[in-house]
Structure 1
Amino acid sequence: MKPSVSKVLQLIPPLSPTLHKGQAGRVGVLGGSVDYSGAPYYSAMSAMKLGADLAFVVSDARAAGTIQGYSPDLIVLPYLHPNEGSLEEDVKAVEGLFPRIHSLVVGPGLSRNAELLDRAAEAIKGARDRDMPVVIDADGLYLIQKRPELVKGNKRAVLTPNVMEFKRLCEAMGVDGQGKDGEDEWGTARRLSQAFGGVTIVQKGPSDLICNENHSFRADNEGGLKRCGGQGDVLSGILGATLAWGHHCMPSIRKEAKEGGKELPGLPLSPEEVTPMAAYLSCTLVRECSRRAFSQHGRSMQTSDMLEHIGESLVRMEQSKL
């Protein structure tokens, strides 16, 4: 099942000279550690390559300089001080960022350092308190396995597990991962979503299955054949941007246009539609980026090659060719 393309396109802000910096999305990425500095870069840069105006990376202070060195386009904030700083002080610094962002991605390169995970947990709770959409990926999913209450019942939370992460989440939530007779292909993901109280699950695989209590979509357009590390980070960043667009930017832009005596074309999405449709759009775009990068580089394709195809993949979607 696929959503209407015309509906999906309502997520995308128009390009207009009347918009100011920040109206097309401000995304926060909480991740990055001494061992894993590339993942938050891929996530944040993917959000910006899609069209978000600003991307902030909140990282382990020891990795911040390395991450900043990858690109001057990123705003890198060394707010996390595991093993030496105060949890309360770090959390206060992170929460000071929240008024400046529209969505939060948690997990890329985070590692399983217990103190970093504690800081991530507080950030997830803070985002929820502000009704801010949150994407949980990578080591953030390990945290959710241990503390499912952090996202339980949060309809603006999206979990993006790969095959093994999906299996572990099912085990953690007591969900039979083998499927049941008579279920459709979304059956297990739907039961996992229900166990989490309605969060949206993106079950990554040969086809990406997007599911919550009310919507079931499949992204199955052709992707590349090279499974290099980092593609999940690209998805998390793009998803952070599309969620920011759908839940904050487009409602604000529509309201401003109406107050100025204009109406944007198309019907606005309901808040319940935004999250699964943003997930569908994001998965479709990542698969297209992968296809394009692989067609150009073949076996030598790296995740960095995908970044240059994000913009043109979005144009292809806007032209309704995906």
Structure 2
Amino acid sequence: MPVPRVIIDQIKRLLPPLDGSLHKGQSGRVGVLGGALDYTGAPFFAAFSALRFGADLSHVICSPTAAGAIKSYSPDLIVHPILNESSTSDQVKPHLQSLLSRLHVLIVGPGLGREPYMQSFARLAINLARQNGMYLVLDADALFLIGHDLSIIKGYRRAVLTPNVVEFKRLSEQVGVDPSTPLGERAGLVSKLLGGVTVLQKGARDIISIDTTGGEADLAKSHIEAKGSQNEQAQETIIVDVEGGLKRCGGQGDVLSGSVGTFMAWGKCYEDGAFGDGTLPISRVPLLAAVGGSMVTRAASKRAFAKEGRGVVTQDMLGELGPAFAEHFGAEERGGGKL
């Protein structure tokens, strides 16, 4: 089942024009918070994917133990080693505030780990991002964090969660979804019970769902409303079944996070009036970003697998993001609704 044409057209309206009218930064400033002693590849893949996707600037906010390795991977990334285990949240807060004020989106989770100090800094960053009205992508161990305190993200409609199969099962249980609920309805219920947060359920097909009612009813009522969503328009669900590669390897989810984050950064640029006519409702941005990021990431995976086969690694996908983007959204898109 192809993604509806109306969704594709709306996604294209978020593309920054390539006509020389924008200055540096108006095609997206992306931040990735993650990277501790044992995890340096994940934040790199997320941040560098954003650049290959088309963002102007990509920042990595990490611990000093990870900074050297991440800097060595690419000189294109701006690395901030401010998440020091010996620092308190009060000491880190002003540095985070300064950084976040310069970004359009914050991706939290790739390479975050579960050390208490990294989890604490992630919580602080999410709270600051919410205060600033930033777009958020939460993946990996950021999902572990919010699973223990749903209030961190509940009701924040500028966020996209990107759980894999295991993470989605755990999150569904944590929010109280009945395990007998049909698989196709679960993402919508998770969105509802989290107050309208967009959910990108990764799998053989990616299921992207957002609850549009704004209510936080109990599970029984929400289940009934979910079943009647086609008539009541309480939820919107898009299934992305673009063919991907046949080999899964660690890091592909980080590429997805960077791709979704870039679309959200473009949405913020659109919202700020950098391009476009301003007629696309901003409430559409998280859903559109999730769909667009999913489509391109899956296509890049397929292209990389076609070249490398069983030996494919995530790094092989980075060079395929541009061609995969062109495959679905055009090689010479002018963006801003001028197609």
- What is the TM-score with the length of structure 1 in the denominator? 0.91
Q: Secondary structure at the match of 1:129?
A: helix
Indicate the residue corresponding to 2:325 in structure 1.
Answer: 314
Among candidates 178, 198, 206, match of residue 200 of structure 1: 198
Indicate the residue corresponding to 1:145 in structure 2.
Answer: 147
Q: Superposition pairs for residues 290-301 of structure 1, below 5 Å? A: 290-301=301-312
| CA distance in 2 between partners of 1:238 and 1:193 (Å) | 21
Among candidates 15, 20, 26, match of residue 23 of structure 2: 20
Among candidates 236, 261, 271, match of residue 240 of structure 1: 261
Among candidates 239, 248, 252, match of residue 218 of structure 1: 239
Alpha-carbon offset, residue 251 of structure 1: 4.6
| CA distance in 1 between partners of 2:43 and 2:153 (Å) | 21
Indicate the residue corresponding to 1:164 in structure 2.
Answer: 166
Alpha-carbon offset, residue 246 of structure 1: 1.4
| CA distance in 2 between partners of 1:251 and 1:206 (Å) | 36
| CA distance in 2 between partners of 1:47 and 1:89 (Å) | 29
Structure 2 residue 54 is matched with structure 1 residue 61: no
For 1:275, the aligned partner's letter is: P
Q: Which runs of 5+ in 1 are unaligned?
A: 256-263
For 1:13, the aligned partner's letter is: P
Among candidates 9, 14, 26, match of residue 6 of structure 1: 9
The answer to whether the 8 Å contact 1:186/1:211 transfers is no
Structure 2 residue 309 is matched with structure 1 residue 288: no
| CA distance in 1 between partners of 2:36 and 2:275 (Å) | 39
Indicate the residue corresponding to 2:95 in structure 1.
Answer: 93
The answer to whether the 8 Å contact 1:230/1:303 transfers is yes
| CA distance in 1 between partners of 2:269 and 2:123 (Å) | 23
Alpha-carbon offset, residue 18 of structure 1: 2.1
The answer to whether the 8 Å contact 1:27/1:101 transfers is yes
The answer to whether the 8 Å contact 2:27/2:269 transfers is no
| CA distance in 1 between partners of 2:281 and 2:295 (Å) | 21
The answer to whether the 8 Å contact 1:112/1:139 transfers is yes
The size of the alignment, in residue pairs, is 305
| CA distance in 2 between partners of 1:312 and 1:319 (Å) | 9
What is the percent sequence identity of the aligned residues? 44
For 2:289, the aligned partner's letter is: A
Among candidates 74, 79, 92, match of residue 76 of structure 1: 79
Q: Secondary structure at the match of 2:59?
A: strand
For 1:287, the aligned partner's letter is: R
Moved more, 69-78 or 238-247: 238-247
Alpha-carbon offset, residue 254 of structure 1: 2.9
Among candidates 32, 36, 47, match of residue 44 of structure 1: 47
| CA distance in 2 between partners of 1:65 and 1:16 (Å) | 36
| CA distance in 2 between partners of 1:177 and 1:233 (Å) | 28
Q: Which runs of 5+ in 2 are unaligned?
A: 212-234, 332-339
Taking only aligned residues, the RMSD between alpha carbons, in angstroms, comes to 1.5
The answer to whether the 8 Å contact 2:39/2:111 transfers is yes
Structure 2 residue 277 is matched with structure 1 residue 252: no
The answer to whether the 8 Å contact 1:166/1:203 transfers is yes
Indicate the residue corresponding to 1:187 in structure 2.
Answer: 185
The answer to whether the 8 Å contact 1:208/1:218 transfers is yes
